[in-house]
Amino acid sequence: MHIVYWLKDDIIPDGIKDSYASVFPSSKIHRIDAGHMWNHDDSALDELLTLLPQAQFSFRRECDTLDTFMCSAFYFLRYPDAHNPDELIRKELADKMFPIEFYSWWKEHTVGHLLYSRFIHKFLYDQGYLSSPEPFSKLVHQWMVLGADGRKMWKRYNNWVDPLQVVDKYWADAVRTYMMFMWPVESDKPWSDTALNGVYKFLKRIERLLETWGDISFEQDDDVESLFHETIKWMTYDLENLKFNTAVSKLMILTNKVYERKAITKDQLKMLAQLIAPFAPQLAENLWIWLEETTDVHFSHWPVYDESKIQAKHIVLPIQINWKVRWKTEISAGLTESEVLEIAQWIENVAKWIDGKEIKKVIWIQDKILNLIVA
């Protein structure tokens, strides 16, 4: 049964009310026309106007009856066959595309993309249009960036961040890297200019490798070489499993080691450019050009580690603030107090406890625990 608008006046005959699911007076049309919900142009108006035999008056049928989530729940079906005027998608193309191996979306769209997408896809599967019973093999609902106050960014709270201003101040690569470093991909993250500034300084340290190249040895250092292959190994695992925050952390450890040993070869710098490319594409490309590579760094092959060159092992280090464990992070065994302290100050869940406070004492037991006494 249709939802209709009675066009004669605001008095709707009882017989009309009984014949349709919902009948609204003509005055309601203007409210809807003024909004975004009424999206039909005049050329389609004839299809929306129907003559009522009982009263010889017209009514308008309401066609916008689906939630916007429903409309966006099957758009991906058109991607491989977008210009086909005869059918939604050719079956042979659908067989190549579905199920989609990986799909990531905001967690607020969970209902729209779990309920609606699966419902429509399964209906089309039952009707024989699709060969796969499920639309996605893996669906990940990613985090939301919250305001600095821990609430959802909203004009009502005046806690939103202007991305253009942040990029102008900190550099687009720093913002990208920071957002990958904030938290695990599935966790909400409060915005922190302090943590962003830490990531900015980290990328600048990599950039300064070119400026201080004359002070750095070209000779291969065994510790640096070992850590490079270890970093490649674990970053490969982290990226495949969406552990972007720990991947960035490993890059920080590697950079610290290069500065500590003051040694990096051109081949290692090439690998470093490839490793940072997923997070800081502009910086990676600058390094790539400096190395006189003729191709694009993003089209190069991901570096391969050599297990025989890996010497170090990993540990999970608890970080305490005033004797309370606030975070646990995976690091390479054997790091010094200064290296671990620098890494700890870049971790969001540690930085928020020490920001604006003085570190009175550092209790460091190598490979066991880091405890910061602050006041």
Supply the pLDDT for residue 212.
Answer: 72
Supply the pLDDT for residue 44.
Answer: 41
CB 3 within 8 A of CB 63: no
215 with 166, same domain?
Answer: yes
Low-confidence ranges of the chain (pLDDT < 50): 1, 14, 20-21, 23-57
134 occurs within a structural domain: yes
Supply the pLDDT for residue 80.
Answer: 84
195 with 275, same domain?
Answer: yes
Number of domains in the chain: 4
Per the structure, the complete domain to which residue 321 belongs is given by: 314-374
Supply the pLDDT for residue 210.
Answer: 80
Supply the pLDDT for residue 309.
Answer: 86
Supply the pLDDT for residue 79.
Answer: 83
351 occurs within a structural domain: yes
Supply the pLDDT for residue 37.
Answer: 38
Phi-psi region of 334 (alpha: psi -120 to 50; beta: other; left: phi over 0): left
In this structure, what CATH number is given to the domain that contains residue 339? Answer: 3.10.20.590
Supply the pLDDT for residue 133.
Answer: 92
Supply the pLDDT for residue 217.
Answer: 67
345 with 358, same domain?
Answer: yes
In this structure, what CATH number is given to the domain that contains residue 276? Answer: 1.10.730.10
291 with 367, same domain?
Answer: no
Supply the pLDDT for residue 34.
Answer: 35
Q: Which of 44, 61, 78 is the last residue before a domain boundary?
A: 61
162 with 271, same domain?
Answer: yes
pTM for the model stands at: 0.65
